[in-house]
Amino acid sequence: MKPNVLIVRTAGTNCDKETEFAFNSAGARTSLRHINYIKEKNDFSDYQIIAIPGGFSYGDDLGAGKIMSLEFIYWLKESLSKFIEKGGLMIGICNGFQIMVKTGILPDLDFKQKVTLTDNDSGRFEDRWVYLSTKERTGEKKVKSIWLKDMPQLISLPVAHGEGKFYANNSILDKIEANGQAVLRYVDRESKLAGYPLNPNGSLNNIAGICDISGRVLGLMPHPERCIFKHHSPLWQGQKSEGYGLRFFINAVGFFK
């Protein structure tokens, strides 16, 4: 049986086809739907996985992901809560991550915004490959994210965003750290926390991705769907590399198999 994946798109979404290809390559069955169709149906019971891909939804005219987050809050809050409570998986990539935090899906699924992804410290659009650590920091609990199962401790993925700086007040940030929800961090080649350009946006605590307490809901700024094959990486000839991004999608499909 192949799990059904709902890929949500709207005006300005531009990574939907790549996300669909990644899930299909991992063995899933996909449905690519416009947000208006989803609002009209208002039912996620046919799906096991929901993906919000990257891009610039509605041109990011009111801030990255803001308009689409309001659509989730005012039209889809109840049905989305039921979907996650029943064991569904969810991933938000780049603009999808921005939508999820502004909806309040992450970090606590209470539909109250507690963190944000704001303008890069550099003041410019950052389009580069980065190193990411999947290893917890000393003293933290470890959320076992389904999406990161059997992932190497150091991976490389591309980023492409103008508003990717993870920001929260100290109490929320401390809670995320204490719960072990910061599952991806920007690092150098030796897995050490590093500044710009290795941390491309100035994210607090070098956070590149977080998940909920259950480990089933993941949001991240880097693009796993853009690193499906080994030769996608600029390091594929000179250094050991692989299509690390595909593992995210294989893990999600394997969870239901």
Catalytic residues: 94, 223, 225
Counted residue by residue, the chain has a size of 257
Q: Give percent helix, percent strand, percent coil of the chain, each to the nearest 5.
A: 35, 25, 45
Nearest CA among 105, 100, 107, 94 for reference residue 208:
94
C-alpha pair distances (Å), 16 with each of 4, 32, 51, 217: 15, 8, 9, 18
For CA atoms 198, 114, 101, 209, the dihedral sign is positive
Q: Which residues contact 145 (CB under 8 A, 6 or more apart)?
A: 183, 211, 215, 216, 218
Whole-angstrom distance, CA of residue 135 vs CA of residue 162: 26
Q: At what angle do helices 95-103 and 66-75 cross, to 10 degrees?
A: 50
State the Rg of the chain over Cα. 17
Tell me if residue 168 falls in helix, strand or coil. Answer: coil
Whole-angstrom distance, CA of residue 154 vs CA of residue 135: 8
